[in-house]
Amino acid sequence: MRISLTFLVLALASPAAALTPDEIDTAVYEGGALPDGQSGLTVKVQVLLDRAGVSPGVIDGYKGGMSESALRGFEEREGLPVDGVMDADVWAALGGDGAGPVLQSYTITAEDLGDLTDAIPDNVAEKAEMDALGYTRVTEKLAERFHMDEDFLVALNGDAAFGEGTRIMVADPGPRMEGTANRIEVRKQTQRAVIFDAEGAIIANYPVAIGSEQTPSPSGTVEVTAVAMDPTYSYNPDVNFVADGVTERLTLPPGPNGPVGSVWIDLSEPTYGLHGTPDPAELFKSESHGCVRFSNWDVEELAFMVSQGVTVDFVE
């Protein structure tokens, strides 16, 4: 049988069909590892991990490094064999069969559409001239609120206009995890931050980006000294790094799309902190300038658990 080369190229180039809400809510676990690529089952597992306090990063339905590391974190906390592979025991511990819907309906409000930033320049000096480094799209704002990848949110809702009154489907990650942190382990090899209470139990576990060989994260043990919500960012090329060739000191305005996102947790090691990021989808693929980056929603959750004096151990 002869196959047209043009047809073959088009077939290979055509994107896979987007997942539908029904495919996600009706997904069931029938054994084995999570499917390769994107699947409704992986969306469901990511949401259940998030509800359990073990963040998968952005909810996007793709099997990948962040989801595997989250499974490992959940297995560790539950006392299961730690291999990062989905199995019947993990599914049962997540409450999979009885978990109910992992998506919810949401109607877009005028408030959602308000307080957006027209555009954010690339140059650090131009950013410093702005009033805020806010969300530039309602889809970006809503994706972060519901812990989702923005492209996945858009694809899940087909031709939705995302205007006021539009009803959309979003992930349902559940309420914010609560607890009192006593110690944090930043595990450099696995790129996870693990939060422990005073009894040594794991409260939460988050994916993070850490420093590179050129700009490494701290070593050893430090402490939390302060927590700032919606912080400004002090750009000091004399101490940290030079960006865009700008050599003067600047103060960048606050906002979720700022260099440190929506939260700064200051550490006793000068100039270092735990903070958010404007690019949550790139979190597990990128390196920081030495600080520890979280998604904005994860570090916001953490901010309510920590206080001055909490120990942060950097584990090699």
Burial of 243 (0-12, 13-18, 19+ CB in 10 A): middle
Find all residues with CB under 8 Å of 272, minimum gap 6, and list them. 217, 218, 222, 290, 291
The answer to whether the CB of 293 falls within 8 A of the CB of 209 is: yes
- Has 289 been annotated as catalytic? no
The answer to whether the CB of 86 falls within 8 A of the CB of 44 is: no
Q: How far apart are CA 60 and CA 218, in angstroms?
A: 31
Burial 217-236 (b: 16+ CB within 10 A, else e): bbeeebebeebbeebbbebe
Provide the residue count of the chain.
316
Give bridge partners of residue 252 from the DSSP assignment: 233
Could you say which DSSP state residue 214 is in? S
| Catalytic option among 47, 94, 204, 291 | 291
- Has 291 been annotated as catalytic? yes
Beta strand spans in 81-164 (E) = 103-107
| Catalytic option among 192, 275, 289, 293 | 275
- Which residues does the annotation mark as catalytic? 275, 291
